[in-house]
Amino acid sequence: MDYVEIALLLGGFVLLVLGYRRHHRGWLVAAALLLFLSGNLRPMVSGFVDGWNSVGGPVASATH
Quick check: pTM over 0.95?
A: no
Section 13-38 average pLDDT: 96
Taking 70 as the threshold, does the pLDDT of residue 64 lie above it? Answer: no
| Lowest-confidence pick of 11-15, 17-21, 60-64 | 60-64
pLDDT of 52 strictly over 90 = no
Residue 59's pLDDT band (cuts 50, 70, 90): low
Confidence at residue 57, expressed as pLDDT on a 0 to 100 scale: 60
Side chain identity at 34, as an amino acid letter?
L
